[in-house]
A and B are shown apart, each in its own frame.
Chain A
Amino acid sequence: MTSISLSVNGKSVSGDVEGRTLLSAFLRENLQLTGTHIGCDTSQCGACVVHVDGQAIKACTMLAAEADGADVRTIEGMENADGSLGVIQQAFQDHHGLQCGFCTPGMVMSAAALLKDNPNPTEGEIREYLEGNLCRCTGYHNIVKAIMAASGQDVSKIAAE
């Protein structure tokens, strides 16, 4: 076992992990932060995307021990200080950017990473950035629309509802 200490959503946490413990398992099982979803566990689907030191990564394909000392942000850290939904989360609700919701935590975390680097993305840039996030319900249109709306752009001309 290795002892690790890191910051998760602004709070200092620590725990003992095996070498093989994945960051996704540490978040879900040690910290009970079950908003980070395990969709495929093969780094294909992106449901487990979290931010490590500000960068989007797949938590199912990073060892918890690698995150020792890191600053981690999960979907639970995306709400506003008063507990209301953050801008991207609210946009997903307003624009029906989810159906079953399983992929949504990863979608929101990827969207946040995109908007940090590119505050005004085109529809094409959003679609390309979401290459590693799979959704089997929506057909992506409303996810793309929600992210455009969250960036403050006019989405009235995007056709699909």
Chain B
Amino acid sequence: MHNFDFAKPATIADAVAALQGDEAQPLGGGQTLIPTMKQRLAAPEVLVSLTHIPDMQGVCTNDAGQLCIGGATTHATVAREAASSFPGLAHLAAHIGDPAVRNRGTIGGSLANNDPSACYPAAALGTGATICTNLREITADDYFQGMFDTALDEGEIITEVRLPIPQAAHYEKFVQPASRFALTGVFVAKYQDHVRVAVTGASENGVFRWADAEAALSQSFASDAVADLSVDPDHMIHDLHASKEYRANLVKVGTMRSVKKAK
């Protein structure tokens, strides 16, 4: 790993200031960025840690029925603190990586990286979350812009994520056992008047909504409602772990299982 200057700000304002340099990069829990830097695929000159900022920590609910999660909150904390208010999300957080990874990795780091096989993008898109940064609020539908690509500008950091709490939800993850990322994962969330379905791990364009399933499930929230639908395998990820056709089928299977398990 190339060397860098390390900054550990205690406020969002100080973090934003430290990120002004050309080659400065924010550091969440580092569970992706540190391995990437070891491979010299990233070589920032300044690394700005976001995990010591109290204003970016913690989980709470607001009057609008949203679960508000500080950008630097670890997966382990979300798994623990969302268990009663939003069990579908707690289940997702409790199955990211492994226990040691969950004690470091953060929701903001996951969403900022937008790995096409990461779990949190499915929850953010599947709930229609609001991604709050130091500059603005971005709806999930506008935020995800393709594989490893987001609406974030240089030096912009995710301070909070607000997820509308559904009546019922589940995330069905078909695990790629070596990496523990999702080979394909489907997040289904049922709200009073609509259903959202978001898929990760499958598309070459990153996380996406499966509109046909959303329409069918909004009419009838039962796994049979999607039984006759199919997903076009074009533009699905095709690698040694699974073919595009296999992934397309997993989208449907994962959706059906999520509907059955939603709570």
Contacts and interface: CB of A to CB of B under 8 A. Distances in A.
Interface residues of B, number: 26
Contacts of B180: 131-132
A15 to B, nearest CB: 14
Contacts of B101: 43, 58, 61, 132
Given A42-B38, A43-B35, A46-B100, A61 B30 contact: yes
B99 A56 contact: yes
B71 interface: no
Contacts of B3: 18-20
Interface centre among B34, B37, B49 (most CB of A within 10 A): B34
A64 to B, nearest CB: 9
A43 B103 contact: no
Given A57-B104, A61-B31, A66-B51, A131 B5 contact: no
B91 interface: no
Nearest to A106: B100
A51 B8 CA distance: 21
Contacts, number: 73
B4 interface: yes
Interface centre among A22, A42, A46, A63 (most CB of B within 10 A): A63
Given A46-B100, A113-B99, A132-B100, A19 B31 contact: no
A55 B98 CA distance: 13
Interface in A38-82: 41-43, 46, 49, 55-58, 61-63, 65-66, 68
Contacts of B1: 20
Contacts of B100: 43, 46, 49, 56-58, 110, 132
Contacts of A110: 99-100
A93 interface: no
Contacts of A18: 3
A131 B8 contact: no
14 contacts: A20-B37, A42-B35, A49-B100, A58-B104, A61-B30, A61-B31, A61-B34, A61-B35, A61-B104, A62-B34, A131-B98, A132-B97, A132-B100, A133-B98
Interface of B: 1-6, 8, 27, 30-31, 34-35, 37-38, 47, 49, 51, 76, 97-101, 103-104, 180
